[in-house]
Amino acid sequence: MKKLFYSFLAVSMMAFGFAACNDDNGSEGGKDGAKISESDLYGNWMSDTIIVSAADIDEEKYELYDKSPVIVTITKDKHVILYGSDTLGVWSLKKGVITVNGTQSVYDPEARNYKEVPVEMEITVVSYGKDKGVITIKNAEQYMYDKETYKEETFLADETIHFSRLPEPKGADAAINKTNVAGTWKLLYSKYVRMENGQTSSDMYPAHETMILTLNSDGTFVSASYYNRGEGGGHSHVEEGVWSLKQNKLLLYYGELMTPDQLDTLPDEYWENARTVSRLTNDFLVLSSHYEWTNGKETGYNDNEEYYTRVN
- 158-191 pLDDT, tens digit per residue, is 988 888 999 999 899 999 999 999 999 999 999 9
* Mean of the per-residue pLDDT values of the chain: 84
Over the stretch 183-193, which tens digit does the pLDDT of each residue have? 999 999 999 99
Residues sharing a CB contact under 8 Å with residue 7, sequence separation 6 or more, in sequence order: 140, 141, 142, 143, 154
Whole-number Å distance between alpha carbons of 153 and 27: 38
Whole-number Å distance between alpha carbons of 126 and 34: 8
* % of the chain with per-residue pLDDT over 90: 41
pLDDT of residue 66: 75
* Across 194-212, average pLDDT: 89
Kindly tell me the sign of the dihedral angle through the C-alpha atoms of 245, 175, 205, 302. Answer: negative
Pairing state between β 151-165 and 71-74: unpaired
pLDDT of residue 18: 43
Q: Where are the beta strands (DSSP E) in 5-112?
A: 31-32, 43-52, 62-64, 71-74, 79-82, 86-94, 97-108
pLDDT of residue 234: 56
Model's pTM, two decimal places?
0.82
Number of residues written out for the chain: 312
* Across 286-311, average pLDDT: 91
pLDDT of residue 231: 45
Pairing state between β 298-310 and 31-32: unpaired
* Across 289-311, average pLDDT: 90
* % of the chain with per-residue pLDDT over 70: 88
Phi and psi angles of residue 180, each rounded to the nearest 5 degrees, phi first: -80, -30
pLDDT of residue 245: 95
DSSP 8-state assignment for residue 28: T
CATH architecture of 178-310: Beta Barrel (2.40)
Q: Which long-range contacts (CB under 8 A, 24 or more apart) does 283-292 make?
A: 283/171, 283/309, 283/310, 284/167, 284/168, 284/169, 284/170, 284/308, 284/309, 284/310, 285/181, 285/185, 285/309, 285/310, 286/169, 287/250
- Residue of higher predicted confidence among 7 and 161: 161
pLDDT of residue 16: 44
Over the stretch 74-126, which tens digit does the pLDDT of each residue have? 999 999 998 988 888 999 999 999 999 988 788 888 888 888 888 888 999 99
CB 42, CB 74: distance < 8 Å: yes
pLDDT of residue 163: 87
pLDDT of residue 235: 63
Under the banding of pLDDT at 50, 70 and 90, the label for residue 30 is low
Using DSSP, state whether 198 is helix, strand or coil: coil
- So where are the chain's domains? 5-165, 178-310
Whole-number Å distance between alpha carbons of 291 and 275: 11
**DSSP H or E stretch at residue 179:** helix 178-181
- Residue of higher predicted confidence among 287 and 64: 287
* Across 134-153, average pLDDT: 88
Residues sharing a CB contact under 8 Å with residue 197, sequence separation 6 or more, in sequence order: 298, 300
Over the stretch 241-271, which tens digit does the pLDDT of each residue have? 999 999 999 999 988 888 988 999 988 888 9
Closest among 190, 192, 191, 195 to 301, alpha carbons compared = 195
Under the banding of pLDDT at 50, 70 and 90, the label for residue 139 is confident
Using DSSP, state whether 24 is helix, strand or coil: coil
The Cα-based distances of 41 to 82, 120, 265 in angstroms read 14, 19, 51
Closest among 146, 161, 135, 139 to 54, alpha carbons compared = 139
Whole-number Å distance between alpha carbons of 236 and 225: 6
Given a cut of 70, is residue 19 above it in pLDDT?
Answer: no
CB 260, CB 220: distance < 8 Å: yes
Most confident of 37-41, 56-60, 142-146, 274-278: 274-278
pLDDT of residue 228: 56
